[in-house]
């Protein structure tokens, strides 16, 4: 019996247009969920307040003026938006060449949705709202999580060699 992952790989996008549509759906869903969780964090947490969630993970409202995990903080909004736009254009170019690879649309959509969620914050307030704060890592949000998982997925799915799906073999009649 084929696994769910094997079926998913076998039923990959039939065309670049379908892959782009699926990536867009994922991007919109990620950006929407990101904005919803940030709105909840802004409503429920006072700036500087910390609420212990579980096992060293707190909810703590932070305004991040940098990019990933505070890098380039204070570098200026223009530079950060430019870096984001260049990264998104590079990802879209990469995807355009490999769009028919099975499930590549999923991590690409995650990265694009995460980037959109954080750009929405920058456009609205000039900083990204971070609120998940583990003791061992800088604060982050759902968009950051989608971007990290998406980049790992792009590296896996985008560079993986396409192999034709094998048809399941039927047991031989003489095998006991």
Instruction: Name the catalytic one among 58, 130, 133, 174.
Output: 130
Does 133 participate in catalysis according to the annotation? no
Task: Using alpha carbons, list the distances in angstroms from residue 12 to 21, 149, 152.
Answer: 13, 19, 19
What torsion do the CA atoms of 47, 63, 112, 93 make, to the nearest 10 degrees? Answer: 180
Task: Using alpha carbons, list the distances in angstroms from residue 16 to 12, 100, 169.
Answer: 11, 6, 31
Which strand ranges, in their side-by-side order, compose the sheet holding 128-134? 50-54, 57-64, 128-134
Does 144 participate in catalysis according to the annotation? yes
Instruction: Name the catalytic one among 34, 121, 133, 144.
Output: 144
3-state secondary structure 97-155: HHCCCCCCHHHHHHHHHHHHHHHHHHHHHCCEEEEEEECCCCCECHHHHHHHHHHHHHH
The residues annotated with a catalytic role in the active site are 130, 144
């Amino acid at each position: 019996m084929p696994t769910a992952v094997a079926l998913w790989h076998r039923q990959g996008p039939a065309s670049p247009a379908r892959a782009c549509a699926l990536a867009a759906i994922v991007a919109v869903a990620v950006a929407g969920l990101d904005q919803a969780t940030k709105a909840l964090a802004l409503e429920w947490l006072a700036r500087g307040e910390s609420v212990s969630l579980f096992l060293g993970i707190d909810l703590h409202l932070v305004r991040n003026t940098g990019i990933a995990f505070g890098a380039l903080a204070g570098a200026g909004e223009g530079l950060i938006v430019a870096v984001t736009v260049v990264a998104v254009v590079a990802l879209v170019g990469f995807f355009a060449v490999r769009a028919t690879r099975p499930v590549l649309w999923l991590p690409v959509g995650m990265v694009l949705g995460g980037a959109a969620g954080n750009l929405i914050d920058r456009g609205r307030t000039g900083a990204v709202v971070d609120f998940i704060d583990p003791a061992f890592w800088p604060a982050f949000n759902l968009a950051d999580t989608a971007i990290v998982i998406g980049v790992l997925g792009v590296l896996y799915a985008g560079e993986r060699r396409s192999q034709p799906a094998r048809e399941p073999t039927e047991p031989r009649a003489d095998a006991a």
